[in-house]
Amino acid sequence: MVKIGVLGLQGAIREHARSVEAAGAEGIIIKYKEQLADIDGLIIPGGESTTMRRLIDKYDFLDALVDFGKQGKPIFGTCAGLILLANNIVGQDEAHLSLMDMKVERNAFGRQRESFEVEIDLKGVANNFEAVFIRAPYVVEVGPEVEVLATYQDKIVAAKQGHYLCSAFHPELTDDHRLTEYFVKMVEK
């Protein structure tokens, strides 16, 4: 059985682990960088990207996460995880993991009170997918190797680059596990 880790520093950690289990894989909460050696793929959950980066630095995860991705192991970033994967963040001098060739805008759909749910079509994944946006970012532009999987109001909200997957929304907060299943299939390949 494929082992999918969920970075356990902040965010909807348990919800992601449940979604992984529902998608037919083993979900493992990752609290220590040494655990990365025992998993086949990794989900970086939503949360607050600046806080997550502080925790990544505090627990010495940065190089280990970059190395994990550069080894060809799949990574799926949701919401703040999308921001962490990007190589360019509007209004910031430095990116975090810089694993995906894309420019992102933080809190692009508004503050907490502007959070919303909407059905979107995810290319090659699912039609009528219920997407939950909470202080969500979006992708401003992508490089030539990045495939856009979904847009909302002409803004990119899901994308894939090789073994990296990202969404601006929270798929783990619904009972629709099709996007997590898609990631599990990426890991199985």
> Was 54 annotated as part of a binding site?
no
Residue spans of beta strands (DSSP E) within the chain:
3-7, 26-30, 41-44, 75-78, 86-89, 100-105, 116-122, 126-133, 138-142, 147-152, 155-161, 164-167
Quick check: is 177 catalytic?
no
CA 26 to chain centre: 18
> Was 19 annotated as part of a binding site?
no
Quick check: is 130 catalytic?
no
> Was 167 annotated as part of a binding site?
no
The whole-angstrom separation of Cα 170 and Cα 130 is 9
List 96, 170, 177, 181, catalytic entry: 170
> Was 44 annotated as part of a binding site?
no
List 79, 96, 105, 166, catalytic entry: 79
> Was 134 annotated as part of a binding site?
yes
Quick check: is 166 catalytic?
no
List 166, 172, 177, 181, catalytic entry: 172
- Residues marked as binding for L-glutamine? 47-49, 106, 134-135
- Residues marked as binding? 47-49, 106, 134-135
Looking at the annotation, which residues are catalytic? 79, 170, 172
